[in-house]
Structure 1
């Protein structure tokens, strides 16, 4: 399913199977989750993308061929392919172990073809073996919603009371991590979204309410997954002194002005950019131990446009997953 023009529907195309080059693998896609970032790609809200492009960066599949110089993973191995598709390895950020900030990165489904397809070519060094993950549909959302949630939590710190603004794919996975860790989850949803609130409470949240409501306790940290800048001042008002607001999305509407007094007392606003391979190794080790399970709605690959529209309009809980 190919994006040929910004804002246009994806188009079904038949292409020859891609051939992996040096350092690459060819993967037969079993499942690819649909991320809000895919909407940002379709809507042209991210700079420096490529057209035409096959979107999709929450990919699970089996290795079917290896390019020159690739010793592993072996054919038949189930792997996960995330948003960060390649890092240069030699810029100052890569040298510091911060490859998520690489000066010359490639991104799956944005600058290199992604997983809204039957096959995808990936950098072997940025594909993660998924031994023990028996259900590709359930595993697919872990490759971005799970990983970005995990990185956002690491940025948020060790506080006990954590607010999650926007209770979609990432938040419903992260809530399970927080409950497993013994922390308290406060879920903030769109007004009237009873389904999201019910899901949050079922997953162990101690409170669920609207984004403009004040929680019953001041928060140690708030993580924003909804791409709505107006939530930043609201989250600041819900924080204790020294608390943090973490913006977990790759794109957000403008943050409105707000009084300095709600930032004062050493509150902080932080952003999250992409992920590192170390994040993936940590989270994919933790997820089975914590019993993380994605809530999914499955769509055939040809219905990718429908899945994107349903995500935009909030018609399902959890994550949408495309299956070829």
Structure 2
């Protein structure tokens, strides 16, 4: 097999030949058809996240075909298309797992971070944490759903029945969730980097009620705001944009420091919460909804060997939507 391997923080990924992987008893080996590139992969590469596997193969938005199964896995899985998301395994016995909050597991395993991921031709995954997929689905446009879609869905669920939704950072997750919001009858307000007219045009094309820079105030107060950009300074800006009783949801795994802000921005029973990882129930719920939405996915495809190029383009906002690696 071939894999793009990270050996140390800040280093370029290296294309390597590795022995073909063998599944553990509860595992499957997946032949990767497509793996989307997530901002979390940048955080892994840059060393923003603590205690990664080293060396590690990044990538956790994976779609592929089951090529081998472990001794304890139903052999009927062979040849089926599955997704492999960020949450790769949980202990099942900590207080969070027992309470149905496996996203907060005390002893989790994360794909492309604490176990090798999908920037490769093959990946080993815990069979119980794969996502069954329609065999006819397009792997390239489905891959971003495995994180951008799932995390966006979990974040949106925290907004309750909010009608006016602000999305800060209009990238892979926001362009998916904006379409879900419109399908649900909500109004979308898209906040981009100041002056990023391409992203604003993209938001308008997907039915946004308003699009502008993150340095601007929306024309209407928001019921909820979801922050996808890893920029702490957006937190007080979003709090200032939501109504009393509104909620600001931080949807990323990493964010720059949040600056001090006056208590008045939080007062009025405004809430500030974070989203941590995802659950298998999130995947079941979202993958049942996604086909009904009629998602128009914006993807830019790169060959596996160009993973460093894709990461750099993501870092500098050179494309709309998601980047997807295809072995």
TM category (shorter chain) comes to over 0.9
1:266 aligns with 2:280: no
1:243 is aligned to 2:217: no
**TM-score of the superposed pair, with normalisation by structure 2:** 0.98
Could you tell me which residue of structure 1 aligns to residue 190 of structure 2? 187
**Aligned partner (choices 279, 282, 286) of residue 279 of structure 1:** 282
The residue that corresponds to 2:160 in the other structure is 157
Q: CA RMSD in A?
A: 0.8
- Unaligned runs of at least 5 residues, structure 2: none
The equivalent of 1:23 in structure 2 is 26
In 2, distance between residues paired with 1:74 and 1:170?
29
Q: Distance in 1 between matches of 2:53 and 2:65?
A: 26
Describe how 1:169-248 pairs up with structure 2 within 5 A.
Answer: 169-248=172-251
The aligned runs of 1:104-143 (5 Å cut-off) are: 104-131=107-134, 133-143=136-146
Moved over 6 A (4+): none
Between the aligned partners of 1:121 and 1:88, the Cα distance in structure 2 is: 18
Per the alignment, residue 50 of structure 2 pairs with: 47
d(CA) in 1 for partners of 2:36 and 2:76? Answer: 22
Query: Displacement, 1:192?
Result: 1.0
Give the Cα separation in 1 of the matches to 2:116 and 2:297. Answer: 25
State the alpha-carbon separation in 2 of the partners of residues 184 and 229 from structure 1: 24
Alignment match, 1:56:
59
What is the CA–CA distance in structure 2 between the aligned matches of 1:132 and 1:149, rounded to whole Å? 24
Residues 76-106 of structure 1: per-residue CA shift (max 9 Å, x gap): 1000000000011111000000000000000
Q: How does 1:95-106 map to 2 (within 5 A)?
A: 95-106=98-109
- Residue 25 of structure 2 aligns to a residue whose secondary structure is coil
1:5 pairs with 2:12: no
Contact 1:63–1:73 (CA<8 Å) still a contact in 2? no
Q: Is the CA contact 1:244–1:269 (under 8 Å) kept in the aligned structure 2?
A: yes
Cα deviations across residues 28-73 of structure 1 (Å, max 9, x unaligned)?
A: 0000000000000000000121100000000000001101100166
- 2:37 aligns with 34
Distance 1:273 1:11 in 2: 30
Contact in 2 for aligned 1:72/1:124 (Cα 8 Å): no
User: SS at the partner of 2:17?
Assistant: coil
The number of residue pairs the alignment matches comes to 324
Q: Deviations over 1:184-231 (max 9, x none)?
A: 000000011111001101001000000011101100000000000000
TM-score by length of 1: 0.99
Gaps of at least 5 residues in structure 1 are: none
Aligned counterpart, 2:306: 303
Give the C-alpha shift of residue 133 in structure 1. Answer: 4.9
User: Contact 1:60/1:80 (CA < 8 Å) preserved in 2?
Assistant: yes
CA distance in 2 between counterparts of 1:43 and 1:129 reads 31
Mapped contact 1:31–1:60 kept (Cα < 8 A): yes
Displacement of 1:132 in angstroms is 5.4
Q: Deviations over 1:134-167 (max 9, x none)?
A: 2100000000000000000011221100000000
